[in-house]
């Protein structure tokens, strides 16, 4: 019964990479009821998401709904979840910069309309706290490094534009209805259970299979790689943040790593040299990302602690433990 639980969190995308790490951290609180909505999007194999959610079924406090936000209305969600929701953590999204260029409408539908539906649900159900997973991609091409939250934003992919639209929809509902909306701009998250379409996962898999890795450009592009446990700490702090009604906050590592440096680190970890298939730079990809995290430190007491070598080793250990599934 719901009365056993003091708080009820609705987490979208809870079977995904960041979502499953967040839920495992939240399970330490036995007074918490967690409802997960995830559509097990075939963007990558369902078996990997089942690996992510392994063990969830043992916890009575978790309800996992295999539902697509695209197909739900606020009214239908209220019927599914009659219990009061205290916090929404909206991680679900159609992911990926490059695929969004080929199908922008699908990204609008899921990322913009899905977010709007959840905001409608929050308004109608009296949810007071809404944590939104945004992205560093909203900054676009910007040489004012490291990026502060108040930079001028010029997204260069449909995916990035949908994340910016989500932030602005949150601002509107925060202003109109007093919903506290915290948008967290994630910077290149990696770690165990990372999605198979992302660079570190792809590179490890290709090197182990003696297949070439695709490198777009000359390897000088750089990313602020942020370990998933550090991101989770930032999300947990945002769930409890209560100082202002609307904030946009970077969650990064404040340390940019070039693609060449990343590949070198992975080669060292795996013990094999990569065969490199060099291709032109891709439309929609930004040359570099680099977070100013001073606001996160100030408002959320955010302090990333995992450096790249340690984080890569943790990913590799997870990959090796599950290689029968992951090397297919």
Task: Parse the chain into domains and list their residue ranges.
Answer: 2-189+225-252+292-304
Q: Per the residue annotation, which of 5, 9, 139, 159 is the catalytic one? A: 159
CB contact at 8 A, 31 and 5: yes
How does strand 62-66 pair with strand 129-135? unpaired
- The whole-number pLDDT of residue 2 equals 44
Across the range 261-277, mean pLDDT stands at: 96
**Which of 241, 248, 258 lies closest to 293 in space, CA to CA?**
248
pLDDT-based confidence at 4, cuts 50/70/90?
Answer: confident
pLDDT in tens, 207-247: 999 999 999 999 999 999 999 999 999 999 999 999 999 99
Whether 9 is catalytic:
no
Q: How many residues are recorded in the chain?
A: 328
Q: Residue 309 to residues 191, 235, 266, 306: CA-CA distances in angstroms? A: 11, 23, 9, 8
Q: Is the pLDDT of residue 41 over 90?
A: no
CB contact at 8 A, 158 and 104: yes
Question: Helices 114-125 and 158-177 meet at what angle, rounded to 10?
Answer: 20
- The whole-number pLDDT of residue 137 equals 95
Stated pTM of the model? 0.96
d(CA 188, CA 197): 12
**Which of 177, 163, 164 lies closest to 127 in space, CA to CA?**
177
- The whole-number pLDDT of residue 276 equals 94
d(CA 16, CA 234): 17
How does strand 222-224 pair with strand 256-258? antiparallel
Exposed (0-12), middle (13-18) or buried (19+): which is 25, by Cβ within 10 Å? Answer: middle
Residue 278: how many CB atoms within 10 A of its CB?
12
CATH class of 2-189+225-252+292-304: alpha beta
- The whole-number pLDDT of residue 34 equals 97
pLDDT in tens, 279-313: 998 888 889 999 999 999 999 999 999 999 999 99
- What percentage of the chain carries pLDDT values higher than 90? 91
Instruction: Give Cα 98 distance to the centre of its chain.
Output: 16
Buried b (16+ CB within 10 A) or exposed e, 182-195: bbbbbbbbbbbbbb
Q: Is the pLDDT of residue 1 over 70?
A: no
């Amino acid at each position: 019964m719901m009365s056993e639980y003091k708080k009820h969190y609705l987490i979208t995308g809870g079977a995904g990479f960041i979502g499953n790490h967040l839920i495992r951290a939240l399970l330490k609180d036995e007074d918490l009821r967690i409802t997960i909505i995830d559509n097990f999007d075939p963007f990558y194999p369902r078996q990997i998401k089942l690996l992510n959610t392994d063990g969830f079924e043992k916890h009575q406090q978790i309800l996992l709904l295999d539902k697509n936000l695209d197909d739900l209305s606020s009214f239908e969600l209220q019927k599914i979840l009659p219990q009061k929701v205290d916090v929404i953590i909206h991680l679900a999204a159609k992911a990926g910069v490059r695929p969004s260029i080929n199908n922008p409408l699908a990204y609008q539908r899921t990322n913009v309309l899905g977010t709007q539906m959840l905001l409608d649900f929050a308004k109608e159900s009296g949810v007071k706290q809404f944590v939104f997973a945004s992205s560093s991609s909203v900054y676009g091409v910007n040489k004012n490094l490291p990026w502060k939250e108040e930079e001028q934003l010029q997204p260069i992919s449909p995916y990035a534009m949908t994340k910016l639209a989500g932030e602005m929809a949150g601002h509107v509902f925060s202003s109109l209805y007093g919903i506290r909306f915290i948008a967290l701009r994630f910077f290149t998250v990696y770690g165990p259970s990372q999605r198979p379409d992302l660079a570190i996962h792809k590179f490890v898999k290709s090197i182990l299979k003696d297949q070439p890795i695709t490198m777009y450009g000359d390897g000088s592009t750089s990313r602020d790689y942020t370990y998933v446990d550090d991101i989770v700490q930032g999300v947990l702090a945002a769930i409890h943040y209560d100082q202002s009604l609307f904030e946009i906050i970077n969650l990064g590592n404040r340390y940019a790593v070039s693609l060449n440096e990343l590949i070198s680190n992975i080669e060292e970890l795996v013990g094999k040299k990569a065969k490199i298939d060099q291709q032109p730079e891709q439309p929609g990809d930004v040359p570099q990302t680099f977070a100013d995290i001073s606001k996160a430190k100030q408002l959320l007491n955010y302090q990333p602690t995992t450096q790249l070598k340690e984080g890569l080793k943790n990913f590799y250990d997870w990959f090796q433990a599950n290689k029968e599934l992951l090397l297919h």
